[in-house]
Chain A
Amino acid sequence: MSQSQAIPFSRFVTEHSAAVAGFLRGMVAYHDAEECLQETFLAALRAYDSFDGSNPRAWVLTIARNKAIDSERARGRRPDLLAETEQLLASPPPDEGLDAEIWLEVAALPEKQRVALVLRYGLDLRYREIGAVLACSEAAARRSAHEGISKLRDRRTEMAR
């Protein structure tokens, strides 16, 4: 980051903590979200002086995405947690009803589609920015979201049959 446009890291945290937390809620088990949030901002702090200052939200969400992948992988390696995972993946802890059902389905989507849906509908990001997080084009990001939605619809249709 060029020093003249430097944003104090503490301000960077308060500006983006809600977005990162919201994203992680959609991406990792409820009980892992807090730790992922800390890991994300600690990693951001480590890399902060090499960050070029453009699109800070996409930058920190990219870090968060990697932390979420690490976290889910760690969970997968621990068979003792697998049973629990079934419940927890639908973060926040599943309410009764439709939200909980939808979340269980969202949690079962491929990671890229999940990212696209959470960023689009959870955080209201434009597809261009979602593409930046997914390291793909705007069109590919839109496609991922649409694939996610139609997969959810298909699943629901099967269940309703």
Chain B
Amino acid sequence: MTSPRESTNPSNARKQGGAGAFDEGLIREAIGRTARVEVDDSGLSRVLAGRADAEGLIEVAYCEVDSPLGRLLVAATDRGLVRVGWANDDHDLILGELAASIGPRVVEAPARFDPLRTELDEYFAGSRRSFEQPLDWRLSGGFTREVLHRTAEIPFGETRTYAEIATAAGSPRAYRAAGSALGANPIPIVVPCHRVLRTNGGLGGYGGGIEAKRALLRIERAELT
């Protein structure tokens, strides 16, 4: 008769016959091997996004979109497109900001962005003059939002000066503030802050870099000096 204690001794266990070495070390190893699981995170996210969307659980949907200006981040709420991030922005940081300002249920849901992706493709190909997507303006307020509203009205292929936008937003002398409002545009490209230039025709600044601004204006064949 073997008492349970004896089997803790490996040599005893082995005496009981080969596979009988059922000690703690083996148990640890067996459990350790089994629990090491590779998870297909993008597959899991896809399934979750579909089910979460059907249940209305998503506060911020997002995905990354390839474009001639690199891999953009696009994010939307149920009200509409809320954020566009540039390729050289830190996308994780932006998602963290969206979780903090809108809500933590931030879920990658590419299917939601099929229409926007099509519109962006057409825009970059030069065959689309305006975007049809609803916009969620909640990330900007006050004068900034006013400036961005006026900016959204600038037609494809046209430009305005910072002073003109400031005037349209109701504060003719606030052209510097208009400049910072445009710099804080959370929805670049779709809200076309690239269409606002210096009074002397200079490009001014741009969140996505001056080359991106030039590229967008080139797509629109805007007159540049």
Nearest Cβ in chain A — how far from B69, in angstroms? 23
Taking the complex as formed, is A77 at the interface, i.e. its CB lies under 8 A from any CB of chain B? Answer: no
Are A118 and B35 in contact, with the CB atoms below 8 A? yes
11 more A-B contacts (CB under 8 A) besides A102-B27, A150-B4? A7-B104, A9-B104, A18-B38, A25-B35, A38-B48, A46-B57, A99-B33, A122-B32, A152-B27, A156-B13, A159-B20
The answer on a CB contact under 8 Å between A123 and B19 is: no
Interface of B is mostly: helix
- Give the contacts of A111-161 with B (CB-CB under 8 A): 117-118, 121-123, 149-150, 152-154, 156-157, 159-161
| B30 touching A8, Cβ below 8 Å | no
Interface residues of B in 13-29 (CB under 8 A from A): 13, 16-17, 19-20, 22-24, 26-28
A12 to B167, CA, bound (A): 45
Segment of B77-85, B94-102, B139-147 engaged in the interface with chain A: B94-102
By Cβ-Cβ distance, the 8 closest A-B pairs, closest first, are A122-B35, A156-B22, A8-B106, A22-B35, A160-B16, A6-B104, A6-B99, A160-B20
Shortest Cβ distance from A46 into B: residue: B57
Q: List 24 A-B contacts (CB under 8 A).
A: A6-B100, A8-B106, A9-B99, A17-B39, A18-B38, A23-B35, A26-B31, A26-B35, A38-B44, A38-B48, A41-B44, A42-B48, A42-B55, A45-B48, A91-B34, A99-B30, A99-B34, A101-B22, A117-B31, A122-B34, A123-B35, A153-B4, A157-B2, A160-B20
Does B22 lie within 8 Å of A10, measured CB to CB? no
A83 within 8 A of B: no
Q: Which label, helix, strand, loop or mixed, suits the secondary structure of the A interface?
A: helix
Is B100 touching A4 in the complex (CB atoms < 8 A)? Answer: yes
In-complex Cβ contact of B22 among A45, A153, A161 (8 A): A153
Residue B51 is within 8 A (CB to CB) of chain A in the complex? yes
- CB <8 Å contact, A98 and B106: no
Pick the contact of A153 from B7, B35, B41 — CB < 8 Å? B7
Chain A residues lying within 8 Å of B60, measured Cβ to Cβ, are: 8
B22 CB to nearest chain A CB (Å): 3
Q: Tell yes or no: A11 within 8 A of B by CB.
A: yes
